[in-house]
A and B are shown apart, each in its own frame.
Chain A
Amino acid sequence: MKFISEAADKRIPCYRVLSDDGYPIAGSRFEQVDKETAVKMYKSMVTLQIMDNIFYEAQRQGRISFYLTSTGEEAINIATAAALTSDDVILPQYREPGILLWRGFTLQEFANQCFGNSADYGKGKQMPIHYGSNKHNFFTISSPIATQLPQAAGVAYSLKMDKKEACVVAFTGDGGTSEGDFHAGLNFAAVMDAPVLFICRNNGWAISTPISEQFRSDGVVVKGQAYGIRSIRVDGNDALAVYNTIRAAREMVIHEQKPVLVEALSYRVGHHSTSDDSTKYRPVDEIEHWKTARNPLARFRKWVHKNGWWTDDEESELRGSIRKQLLNAIQVAEKMEKPVLAEMFSDVYDDLPSNLHEQEKSLRETIKRHRQDYPTDVPV
């Protein structure tokens, strides 16, 4: 009679390519990334970082109601996006706007969604950061945690019938693995041979819950085997490692038509959201350490720099330009009209039901009768 121990002798090792100094680690196998891709990756990481800072500030200034950053997880965001193709269908959690950014979602489009103006694809019907874009194969972000995991298996079921060289990519955080839907999603994907790439961003914190209180297992990677799913742990702050891992995982998912689980280790440098102050539950020097010494941008920059592909001048020029574009995008988004009244009633159903039609009519009549009381800055 032999019990399997609750903890293995050694933790599952973590795949890394670059050391903290940006040097390729001896013996680490990886595929080279060409200059064009590497520079695009680095520039996108910088853009994401600055976008987060500026939108966060905008919320603090009261210009948008809510924001949530991906600070510290830029490598996971961008390197993953770079390793996928635009045909791969993304079911995000909410800390993956970098995927959209990589795929061409503009700073103006991000701003429009946060301000809920008439140009927002969601027509002001979802709160900020809940981006969604059919043309970018990025499903509208939904707040309840981990619901996208079984839904991903369903999307994959449908995608299989299209017979495309593509897969479904579903994200969750470390906290999301505690939800019942994590179990249901992974179990089903395995049983159904669904081509889903599950990516868990283990950033150490679920609001104020550290991973030591979230699960007793050796992180998330070991959970894969329980479902019969091939898994790997990667250093999420190493852009090259993430790129290589996702490339390889994607190949397996598509050619073997089965799910794969990737655990990307990282650290949530920012607060959970603008509704949180993480200094209340974790030490400030811990945050500083990950913000500086373990910064994914700095690490990747060193490597790109060493290859002669990036200079300090280009760095300051880029940062200045992005900042200007963002401030402009915010100004434009803020000034833009809000969605028209009809949007309040549309899309509840495919067709406008009679009760809403009546209510809208009644509302418009009231507005006509009391024109002087209706705010001038809200379009009818």
Chain B
Amino acid sequence: MLGVIRQRVACRGIPTRNFERGIRVVASRSLSSTAKEMTVREALNSALDEEMSADPKVFLMGEEVGEYQGAYKISKGLLEKYGPDRVLDTPITEAGFTGIGVGAAYYGLKPVIEFMTFNFSMQAIDHIINSAAKSNYMSAGQISVPIVFRGPNGAAAGVGAQHSQCYAAWYGSCPGLKVLAPYSSEDARGLLKAAIRDPDPVVFLENELLYGESFPVSAETLDSSFCLPIGKAKVERAGKDVTITAFSKMVGYTLQAADILAKEGISAEVINLRSIRPLDRATINASVRKTNRLVTVEEGFPQHGVGAEICASVLEDSFEYLDAPVERIAGADVPMPYAANLERIAVPQVEDIVRAAKRSCYRSSSLAATA
């Protein structure tokens, strides 16, 4: 008979539960079981569903998450299944519902707070930083805050400056927070489940343009106990000439760039960061010690960005291994313009990553990188 392979993945040790969500997967040791595909949206929805089912303390709150099925349909079907006590539509008050979520977490519940976009989280950022992130420390462990803040982060398409900023660097600098940035459906499922189970506050940075993208998922990923470890990056593609780090949507671009580079004889190792805080410095440095060259890729603003931190980490730990200066690819240092042609050049494109990798390998026509 068909069976489901059950595997405990290293995370917070939650016992496996026998939930079939109408998905029976054929799994066998000899065959690769990647027959199923899943969009990131479905991945997030199923992760929320399973965690809410497993733990009655988990509840979802945000604008449009209930009746509207979620501004981006991430919470589709959840109101109907769990009722208005577990899926709460809120008035338009980020400060309000974020504060409520923090208070509920203080008193033992496990809220998942959705921001329609992380740009709006700025209206609630005091609750996230001064309350959620710091309370466990300031109270010496008396107040723990098992809360997840999630929503789309970074640029979408044609939404202008106030809807396009990337907050990875801002939240990533704050001790007390954990900051995750999934790329694939496997990332989305595994990291969201880990985030909800984690006793610390987690900022979960999704990407609007990735919601509709489909990725193959293994039987293990589909199991309700599936969980990815927080703080571990994934080497998406092994290589030996240059290390390229990326997160979220830029992982896809970087993989495309790696294909192009391969045709030109440059073997790029692509690292999907998955976790901005804690940053997997060990994996990054091990890779750079192997390839001796580094390109960092992010959509956000360049100053004080994630790439700046990675660069500093590599300089501190692997200076002697570098054969070339580190290349940073980031969004343009301007508020995101609206016009499509301007937006295109304000955000990294595949060609930018290819050029940077070539410069790093001393294979570009001009040695002077443009500022």
Contact = CB atoms under 8 A, between A and B. Distances in A.
Nearest to B88: A192
Interface string A144-180: 1001111111111111010000000000000000001
Nearest to B59: A157
A154 B95 contact: no
Interface stretch (B98-106, B158-166, B242-250, B331-339): B98-106
Nearest to B199: A350
Nearest to B126: A144
A4 interface: no
B278 A187 contact: no
Contacts of A91: 103
Nearest to A188: B96
Q: B97, B126, B139 — which one has the most chain A CB atoms within 10 A of its CB?
A: B139
Contacts of B135: 140, 142
B106 A154 contact: yes
Contacts of B231: 353-354
A89 B107 contact: yes
Contact of A139 (B100, B106, B109): B106
B303 interface: no
Given A140-B138, A142-B131, A350-B200, A188 B91 contact: yes
Q: A143, A144, A158, A343 — which one has the most chain B CB atoms within 10 A of its CB?
A: A158
Contact of A187 (B93, B101, B105, B107): B93
A224 interface: no
A149 B100 CA distance: 8
Contacts of A149: 99
A349 B140 contact: no
B175 A185 contact: no
Interface residues of A, number: 49
Interface in A17-42: none
Nearest to B56: A161
Interface stretch (B141-149, B206-214, B363-371): B141-149
B137 A155 contact: no
A91 B143 CA distance: 12
A123 to B, nearest CB: 4
B178 interface: yes
Given A158-B108, A185-B99, A353-B231, A121 B199 contact: no
A59 to B, nearest CB: 20
B104 A184 contact: no
Given A123-B140, A140-B143, A350-B199, A181 B95 contact: yes
B53 interface: no
Interface in A264-293: none
Given A154-B105, A157-B104, A122 B99 contact: no
B76 interface: no
Interface string A40-69: 000000000000000000000000000000
Interface string B71-93: 00000000000000000001101
A225 interface: no
Interface string A218-236: 0000000000000000000
Given A155-B104, A157-B100, A188-B91, A349 B138 contact: no
Q: A120, A126, A157, A355 — which one has the most chain B CB atoms within 10 A of its CB?
A: A157
Contacts of A161: 109
B99 A343 contact: no
Interface string B200-221: 1000000000000000000000
A151 B99 contact: yes
A147 B130 contact: yes
B127 interface: yes
Nearest to A180: B95
B199 A125 contact: no
B307 interface: no
A142 B127 CA distance: 11
Contacts of A132: 139, 142-143
A250 interface: no
B131 A188 contact: no
B340 to A, nearest CB: 35
A188 B105 CA distance: 16
Contact of A343 (B91, B98, B106, B140): B140
B131 A349 contact: no
A185 B96 contact: yes
A134 interface: yes
B131 A151 contact: yes
Nearest to A89: B107
B99 A187 contact: no
Given A144-B130, A154-B107, A181-B95, A348 B136 contact: yes
Q: B126, B138, B176, B231 — which one has the most chain A CB atoms within 10 A of its CB?
A: B138
Nearest to B99: A150
A201 interface: no
Contacts of A321: none
B355 to A, nearest CB: 33
A33 to B, nearest CB: 31
Please list the 8 inter-chain residue pairs (A to B) with the smallest Cβ-Cβ separation, ordered nearest first.
Answer: A154-B103, A150-B99, A184-B96, A151-B103, A154-B104, A154-B100, A123-B140, A158-B107
Interface of B: 90-91, 93, 95-109, 111, 126-127, 130-131, 135-144, 175-176, 178, 198-200, 231, 278, 281
Interface of A: 89, 91, 120-123, 125-126, 130, 132-134, 139-140, 142-144, 147-159, 161, 180-181, 183-185, 187-188, 191-192, 343, 346-350, 353-355
23 contacts: A120-B140, A122-B138, A126-B138, A132-B139, A139-B143, A140-B139, A140-B142, A142-B130, A142-B131, A144-B130, A147-B130, A147-B131, A150-B96, A150-B98, A153-B103, A154-B109, A156-B103, A158-B108, A159-B107, A181-B99, A187-B91, A349-B136, A354-B231
Given A184-B95, A184-B99, A350-B200, 7 more contacts: A151-B131, A152-B103, A184-B96, A347-B136, A349-B136, A350-B136, A353-B231
